[in-house]
Amino acid sequence: MGQQRTLISILFIALMGVAMPSHALLPEADAQGHIVPSLAPMLEQVSPAVVNIATTARVRQRNPLLEDPFFKRFFNLPNQPQQERRTTSAGSGVIVDAREGYVLTNAHVIDGAEEVEITLKDGRSFTAEVIGVDREVDLAVVQVEADGEDLSEITIADSTGLRVGDFVIAIGNPFGLGQTVTSGIVSALGRTGLGIEGYENFIQTDASINPGNSGGALVNLRGELIGINTAIIAPAGGNVGIGFAIPTEMAVNVMQQLIEHGEVRRGVLGVTIQDLSPELAEAFGIERQRGVVITQVMDDSAASDAGLEAGDVVVEVDGVPVKRSSDLRNKVGLSPVGERVTLKVIRDGNARKVEAVIRETSELTASGADVSQYLEGASLRNLREGELPHASAGVLVESVEQGSPAWRAGVRTGDVIINANRQEISDMESLAEAIPEKDDGILLRINRNGGIFFVVIR
């Protein structure tokens, strides 16, 4: 019987070796001399680079009734001092540069934190400084002062080589239990349109990811980082095998900009786009039915300088297929200003390649915090004449940080503010005039792709 189990183990290792690197699933002998496969040798090398993150923050305690401006006016209530309480939370992170002490994690793990403490697997703890945060992608970089300390860093792999069915391991700190390892496979790639982040291109995995795993490592069987664990779909409140990780393809770009600039400096191409539908493909005389149609090219933009035209169908960027609008938006939004990109477009049935240089927006973008505390986290600018077919005037929301008051109220990137506190809005100046200095909330009327609705931000 023992010989049979040994033969089965050897056969299992041989079969798994077809799909796995030989050094990832190493054979080990148990106490009875049976050969069994194990991930332990690889994890012993990788797990010291995955850390626990504990944060402390102050949050404002809210009473919706006392914050409602109409309720306060009706009952003639005085302004109440804001009550605050201290909160703590736990998450995970990955050491990406041991010499400099850089740790990559999720933005929501350290969002609003006054104190950030990093704990290594061996129990050592360090106070960390926040270097930069990008809420649009949900990534952040923190740094520990660990002079002379022996830190371990993780090797970063190129996630573009991933395939559905590849084995992966998630390492993190679920429910604050301490470092935990789970395994699974890549269930899907390129998940977008989930509304979790501003820029989405998730790896989906069935490796268990739970609260506290956020910011932890998703690694391949070589022990290389391929993603940062970020979110789950949990309709019943627990893990159901649908987890999402930010691929290193996106994370490395953002991480480098956060380290260099403390922020992500996103560029623009200067076009409006829509997905290529079967009806549009037939109208344009195109056989393929996946791509992005340019509906408008802005004057004096990177797109106009490159010679792009309305009606062009973008099918590739830098050799990577473009199947939907989010593919092009991700590529442009995650490319640093000044980067040259090559677009393959179909025009009048003929394919051609066009080079464009990503530009910094030439329009003056203002911080919403300069207008009102309730617009903090939003970037605003005047709507250009003819820029959008569904709006002729107003203030365009260039971006809005996830978790900000505007985001929680339902304001999203691309919305046009046309009315504030029942006053018509034509530009930034009129928006500022419509909102008093000591505002008790804002009533906005929003134009989103031609649909008009109200939002209340408190």
pLDDT digits (tens, 9 = 90+) for 360-409: 754 556 778 878 888 988 888 888 766 677 887 889 998 888 888 898 88
Are the C-beta atoms of residues 311 and 349 closer than 8 Å to each other? Answer: no
Contacts of 151 (CB under 8 A, 6+ apart): 49, 95, 98, 101, 120, 144
Under the banding of pLDDT at 50, 70 and 90, the label for residue 288 is: confident
What per-residue confidence (pLDDT) applies to 10? 41
pLDDT digits (tens, 9 = 90+) for 412-443: 988 999 999 888 888 887 888 788 766 678 99
Task: Report domain 271-357's class.
Answer: mainly beta
Query: What is the pLDDT averaged over residues 204-223?
Result: 89
Q: Could you say which of 1.10.3720.10, 1.20.120.10, 3.40.50.300, 2.30.42.10 is the CATH number of the domain covering 366-457?
A: 2.30.42.10
Query: What is the pLDDT averaged over residues 292-321?
Result: 86
Residue that wins the pLDDT comparison between 31 and 98: 98
Buried/exposed code over 305-322 (b: 16+ C-beta within 10 A; e: otherwise): ebebeebbbbbbbeeeeb
Residue that wins the pLDDT comparison between 191 and 419: 419
Under the banding of pLDDT at 50, 70 and 90, the label for residue 81 is: low
pLDDT digits (tens, 9 = 90+) for 123-146: 888 899 999 998 878 899 999 987
Rounded to whole angstroms, the Cα distance separating 70 from 73 reads 5
What per-residue confidence (pLDDT) applies to 157? 92
Residue that wins the pLDDT comparison between 127 and 301: 127
What per-residue confidence (pLDDT) applies to 103? 95
- On the question of a common fold for 271-357 and 366-457, the answer reads yes
What per-residue confidence (pLDDT) applies to 27? 61
Which range is most confident: 153-167, 190-204, 323-337?
153-167
What per-residue confidence (pLDDT) applies to 198? 66
Residue in 413, 449, 405 with CA at minimum distance from that of residue 195 = 413
Hey, which residues are catalytic here?
108, 138, 214
Query: What is the pLDDT averaged over residues 205-213?
Result: 85
Which range is most confident: 6-10, 73-77, 87-91, 412-416?
412-416
What per-residue confidence (pLDDT) applies to 76? 63
Taking residue 86's Cβ as centre, other Cβ atoms within 10 Å add up to 10
DSSP-assigned letter for residue 268: B
Confidence check: pLDDT of 204 > 70: yes
Which of 204-213, 228-237, 444-453 is predicted least confidently?
Answer: 228-237
Burial class (CB in 10 A: 0-12, 13-18, 19+), 455: middle
pLDDT digits (tens, 9 = 90+) for 166-183: 999 999 888 777 788 999
Token digits of residue 427: 């530009």
Beta-ladder partners of 382: 395
Please, what sign has the CA dihedral across residues 253, 255, 256, 257?
positive
Where does 47-264 sit in CATH, by number?
A: 2.40.10.120
Residue in 272, 217, 223 with CA at minimum distance from that of residue 50 = 217
Rounded to whole angstroms, the Cα distance separating 293 from 300 reads 20
Confidence check: pLDDT of 253 > 80: yes
What per-residue confidence (pLDDT) applies to 14? 42
What per-residue confidence (pLDDT) applies to 174? 81
What per-residue confidence (pLDDT) applies to 140? 93
Quote the longest CA-to-CA distance of the chain: 86
Under the banding of pLDDT at 50, 70 and 90, the label for residue 58 is: low
Taking residue 406's Cβ as centre, other Cβ atoms within 10 Å add up to 25
Give the CB-side neighbour count of residue 113, counting CA atoms within 13 A. 27
| Strand intervals (E) in 98-201 | 102-105, 115-119, 125-134, 139-144, 167-172, 180-191
Query: Over pLDDT 70: what percentage of the chain?
Result: 80
Rounded to whole angstroms, the Cα distance separating 76 from 74 reads 6
What per-residue confidence (pLDDT) applies to 87? 61
Confidence check: pLDDT of 3 > 60: no
Strand, coil or helix: 378? strand
Residue in 311, 168, 352, 179 with CA at minimum distance from that of residue 247 = 168
Q: How many residues does the chain have?
A: 458
Query: What is the pLDDT averaged over residues 29-56?
Result: 83
What per-residue confidence (pLDDT) applies to 17? 43
Q: DSSP letter string over 314-362?
A: EEEETTEE--SHHHHHHHHHTSBTT-EEEEEEEETTEEEEEEEE-B---
Query: Over pLDDT 90: what percentage of the chain?
Result: 24
Rounded to whole angstroms, the Cα distance separating 88 from 384 reads 44
Under the banding of pLDDT at 50, 70 and 90, the label for residue 18 is: very low
Per-chain mean pLDDT for the chain:
80
Query: What is the pLDDT averaged over residues 105-130?
Result: 88
Helix (H) or strand (E) holding 416: strand 416-420
**What are the backbone angles phi and psi of residue 369, rounded to the nearest 5°?**
-65, -25
What per-residue confidence (pLDDT) applies to 270? 79
What per-residue confidence (pLDDT) applies to 383? 82
Phi-psi region of 255 (alpha: psi -120 to 50; beta: other; left: phi over 0): alpha
Phi-psi region of 4 (alpha: psi -120 to 50; beta: other; left: phi over 0): alpha
Taking residue 439's Cβ as centre, other Cβ atoms within 10 Å add up to 18
Residue in 5, 8, 13 with CA at minimum distance from that of residue 39 = 13
- Domain limits, the chain: 2-38, 47-264, 271-357, 366-457
Q: DSSP letter string over 12-58?
A: HHHHHHHHS-TTTSEEEE-TTS-EEEESHHHHHHHGGGEEEEEEEEE
Confidence check: pLDDT of 23 > 50: no
What per-residue confidence (pLDDT) applies to 82? 55
